[in-house]
Homo-oligomer: A and B are copies of this chain.
Amino acid sequence: MQVKAGSDLVRKQNRAVVIAALRKRLRLSRTELSAATSLSPSTVSAITSDLMNENVVLELREPDNGLVKRGRPQIALALNPARATIAAVELSLNLMSVVISDYSGMILNETADNFNTGTTNSVDILTRMTSSIQKCMEPVSSQLSAIVVAVQGRTDAEGRDLLWSPISPGRDVQLADILEAEFSAPVTIANDCSMIAAALRWQNAERYGRDFLAVLLSHGIGMGLYLNGRLFSGTKSSAAEFGHMQYKADGALCRCGSKGCIEAYAGDYAIWRSAYRLPEDALPPADLTAIDMRQLAARARSTDGPERRAYKQAAAAIGHGLANLFALIDSVPVAFVGSGTAAFDIMEPDIEAAIRNSNAGAYDVLLDFDLYDSETPLIRLGSIMTALLSVDEQITGAGETIQSIVQTNWRALA
C-alpha cells in the first residue's frame, strides 16, 4: 500500500529534480534551474546552497560565455566532477573491460583484459575483475562510489547475482556481495542489453522516451525493454529473455540447453549452423568472427541458397518473437543493435511479414526500426550513466520512496 509522506520527502524530491536537471543539461545558472524545474528562485537558492556545502555542485565562474548582456551575469552551476568516482565493467565473451569515470561522466581511465571466459571458473573471473578494477583505479586517487557490471546473461531482479551466463560455466555467482566487500561501494550487476537500452534512452530521450525495445543481434539474441519510462525486468531475474522465447516446440538446440528458442534460429551461431546445414542439435564452435558472418551475408545476398534460407529463417524467428511481444505490450520502436544488423537488409522483409501476419498486425502496428552496428559503446554509456544515477540517488537521500499518490486512471488498485 501507499506510504505516508512528510516534508523531508519533498526536499529529497526537489533535490533530486535539481540534480537531474544538472545531470542532463550539464551547466545551468540558478535562474535557469528555476525555469527548468519550475521551483521558485528562493527554493533553488536553498537547495543549491546545500548541494554546494555537500560538494555536489560547483560554481563555474571562469568562462564568460561571450555574449555580453545587461544586468548581473548568471553564475553557471555544474555537478562537481570530484564528488564521486564510478567504475563501469563490461564482461562479455573473452573480454573484460573496465572504465573509470568521474561524477561528471568524464572518463578517467580504462583497461581491457582478454582471456578465455569459457574455460575460466567464476572464482577466477571474480579475481580478475577485482584486480582489473584496482589496476584501473591506480592512477585515480579516490574511492569508488558505485560499480556497475554489465554482463551477458541473466541476473537476479535486484541486480546482485549473476544467475547464468552463456560466456562462462558459473551459476548463481554472487558478484555484487563480493565486489561490495572488496570496494565498499554499492554494486549493481546488470544485463548488457538493459544497459544498451539505458544508453539509447539517455542519448535520445526524444525518440526513446517512454516505450521502446533494444534487440541485440549478435552471437546470441538479447533484449532491453523500457515501458512507461522504466526499465522492464522480471519478477525474480532480469528476464526479458526475448532470445529464449520459444519459436518452435522441440526445435533447434539453443546455447541455453533448451530447444526451439528464437536464438537457436537467429543467433550468429544458429544462422551459421543452418547455412552450413549442420544438424540442428549441434552447437558449432563459438568463435565465429564478424568477417565470417559478413561473408555469409554476402553469399545470402548474391544467391538464393542455404545461406539466404538461413537468414530468412532467422528473420521469421525474430518476427515471430516481436509479434508475440507486441501482442502483450503493443508495438513500440525497436532499435536493433550489434553485428547482426549488418545483415538486417536481408532479414527485414521477413521480420515485417511475420509481424503483419500475426494478430498484432491487425492493429495499427508500428514498424519503426533503427540500427546500431556496435553494442560496445552503448553498453559502456549505459553502465556509466546507471552508476552515476545511482550516486545521484545516494546523494538525494535514497532508500525511502514517495509512492505515486494517484496512479494513472484505473490502474490504481492500491
Contact = CB atoms under 8 A, between A and B. Distances in A.
B245 A328 contact: yes
B244 A327 contact: yes
B188 A410 contact: yes
A236 B211 CA distance: 10
Interface stretch (A67-75, A369-377, A388-396): A388-396
A165 to B, nearest CB: 13
Interface in A232-264: 233-237, 239-242, 244-246, 249-250, 254, 256-261
A148 B386 CA distance: 40
A246 B404 contact: no
Contacts of A230: 407, 411
Contact of A234 (B1, B239, B328): B328
Interface string A37-62: 11100000000000000000000000
Interface residues of A, number: 103
A244 B325 CA distance: 10
Contact of A328 (B13, B154, B241): B241
Contacts of A389: 410, 412-414
Contact of A4 (B37, B316, B363, B413): B37
Closest 9 CB pairs of A and B: A234-B330, A244-B359, A5-B13, A258-B359, A236-B330, A245-B324, A398-B406, A5-B10, A211-B235
Interface of A: 1-7, 9-10, 12-14, 16-17, 20-21, 23-24, 37-39, 148, 154, 157-159, 163-164, 188, 190, 198, 201-202, 210-211, 227, 230-231, 233-237, 239-242, 244-246, 249-250, 254, 256-261, 316, 320, 323-325, 327-332, 354, 357-364, 385-386, 389-390, 393, 396-414
Given A258-B361, A328-B328, A386-B413, 19 more contacts: A2-B17, A4-B14, A5-B9, A5-B402, A6-B10, A9-B405, A12-B406, A159-B410, A227-B235, A235-B329, A236-B363, A237-B330, A241-B328, A241-B359, A249-B354, A256-B362, A389-B414, A398-B406, A404-B404
